[in-house]
């Protein structure tokens, strides 16, 4: 899976995804301090899904009707990046085929997928 991990994603999550063979660009490494608009632009230009803890991407996708390849919003209660990474590791094989073109909200209990506007 091709992902752009927003700056608010913890390093252990990025490390785990890379170790699992995913192509992950990390905003903290490639464009520190980039605003959300720029993150979405880069993700679209590189055909990457946005991985974030920031609900503003839902606003951009639904209220502003911005086109995107997909967004994965982590809404996990734990503040521990390792715990979040382990949760993501468990659900990725299940959602990997479905998440493109969707807004996915990942919680401890479930994953909600909502289709996104296509360009």
Q: Which residue(s) pair with 71 in the sheet? A: 50, 103
Domain that holds residue 50: 2-115
Task: Give tens-digit pLDDT for 25-38.
Answer: 999 999 999 999 99
Percent residues over pLDDT 90 in the chain: 62
11-19 vs 81-95: helix crossing angle, rounded to 10: 40
What pLDDT does 50 receive? 96
| Short-list 76, 101, 100, 79, CA closest to 90 | 76
Convert the pLDDT of each residue in 21-69 to its tens digit.
999 999 999 999 999 999 999 999 999 999 999 999 999 989 888 878 8
Give dist(CA 3, CA 21) in Å, integer.
11
Q: What is the pLDDT of residues 89-118, one digit of tens each?
A: 888 887 888 888 999 999 988 999 999 876
Question: Residue 58 belongs to a domain with what CATH number?
Answer: 3.40.50
Tally of domains in the chain = 1
């Amino acid at each position: 899976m091709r992902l752009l991990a927003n700056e608010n994603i913890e390093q252990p999550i990025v490390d785990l995804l890379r170790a699992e063979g995913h192509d992950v660009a990390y905003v903290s490494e490639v464009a520190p301090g980039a605003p959300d608009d720029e993150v979405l632009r880069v993700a679209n230009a590189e055909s990457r899904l946005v991985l974030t803890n920031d609900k503003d991407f839902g606003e951009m996708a639904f209220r502003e009707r911005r086109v995107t390849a997909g967004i994965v919003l982590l809404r996990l209660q734990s503040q521990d990046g390792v715990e979040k990474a382990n949760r993501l590791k468990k659900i990725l094989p299940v959602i990997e085929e479905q998440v493109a073109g969707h807004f996915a909200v990942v919680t401890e209990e479930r994953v909600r997928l909502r289709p996104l506007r296509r360009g």
